Amino acid sequence: MASLQDKHRKVRHWLEQMFGGETVPPYEVNETTITVLYDLACKNQAVDKDTKLLLEDLGQKADEYNAEARRLSRTLQSVGLMPESLTKTGTTALSTLVSTAQTLELKNTATTSYLLAMKDLSQEALDVEDSRREEQHLSKELLRKTTTAMAHLNAIERDEESLEQREKMTGPDLEKKAQTAVFLQSKAAEYRNSLRQLRGQLEASGVDPTLYHHKLVNQAEELDKKREKIAELRAQLDSYHSLPPDISLARVKIEEAKRELAGLEEEINRKLEMMTL
């Protein structure tokens, strides 16, 4: 890697060549400036080298064309065909050959060169046609995809408009429902607070817990069960009417059933009195 001094010397030499002996304008000597000018000098010299090679190649081709022109001129002279002696048709044909040779970038005007150049040109035309067909296929595919995308976009826009209209129509209703929900939540909180206060008052007043609603429900269920049992006992009592002639045994059974029935009725009455308090 070149040092900063080497780069500076090369930059200085390049600037002197660029200005052709004139005074080189002053410039700031630092690493950044020298690096930029050094890169520019290297690129400029590379371009100059390529240009020089291109000019040399063009000069060589010009010499070759001139030599070919002189050879053709000698050939024409040898057969007695001077350019000025050609007919108008011959001059046109010769100009056409020259123009065609230049168009095909031929190095010589041999028939083989024309045929090979025409073959290459035909192949290029076929390649261009294949590329054109491929481009057409790609264009059609892109057009199809674009059409599909536009259809989807239009559908999305219609859905968006529909949603906006639905939002405008349902907006007030939703707002009203939201307000109702807030009101109901507030009332529910108020009722919960009132329920807690009432329970506190009930507990403070010494109310019998058995009078609470769930207790009364349980007692009512027990009462229904007792009534069912009484009905069963009444059915059994009714069956005693068909007892055998053993009067003493029948009386014992009847008395037991009566006592049990009386106990159940007493318990039911006690429950009813408690429920009506």
The whole-number pLDDT of residue 237 equals: 67
- CA 266 to CA 95: how far, in whole Å? 143
Q: What is the pLDDT of residues 27-52, one digit of tens each?
A: 788 888 888 888 888 888 888 888 98
Residue 25 to residues 28, 41, 58, 174, Cα–Cα distance (Å)? 10, 16, 36, 79
Average model confidence (pLDDT) for the chain? 77
CA within 13 Å, CB half, 201: 6
The whole-number pLDDT of residue 257 equals: 76
* 35 or 208: which leads in pLDDT: 35
Asked if pLDDT for residue 132 goes beyond 80, the answer is yes
Least confident piece of the model among 52-56, 141-145, 233-237, 244-248: 244-248
Q: What is the pLDDT of residues 105-116, one digit of tens each?
A: 776 667 777 788
Most confident option among 110-114, 122-126, 250-254: 122-126
The whole-number pLDDT of residue 270 equals: 73
What pLDDT band is residue 202 in, cutting at 50, 70 and 90?
low
Query: What percentage of the chain exceeds 70 in pLDDT?
Result: 78
Q: What is the pTM of this model?
A: 0.29
The whole-number pLDDT of residue 73 equals: 72
Average pLDDT over residues 119-124: 83
Two tokens, residue 16: 């002197």
SS3 of the chain:
CCCHHHHHHHHHHHHHHHHCCCCCCCCCCCHHHHHHHHHHHHHHHHHHHHHHHHHHHHHHHHHHHHHHHHHHHHHHHHCCCCHHHCCHHHHHHHHHHHHHHHHCCCCCCCHHHHHHHHHHHHHHHHHHHHHHHHHHHHHHHHHHHHHHHHHHHHHHHHHHHHHHHHHHHHHHHHHHHHHHHHHHHHHHHHHHHHHHHHHHHHHHHCCCHHHCHHHHHHHHHHHHHHHHHHHHHHHHHHHHHHCCCCHHHHHHHHHHHHHHHHHHHHHHHHHHHHHHC
The whole-number pLDDT of residue 228 equals: 84
Residue 237 to residues 231, 254, 263, Cα–Cα distance (Å)? 10, 7, 15
The whole-number pLDDT of residue 260 equals: 80
Asked if pLDDT for residue 78 goes beyond 80, the answer is no
Asked if pLDDT for residue 129 goes beyond 60, the answer is yes
Q: What residues have CB less than 8 Å from 91, skipping those under 6 apart?
A: 83
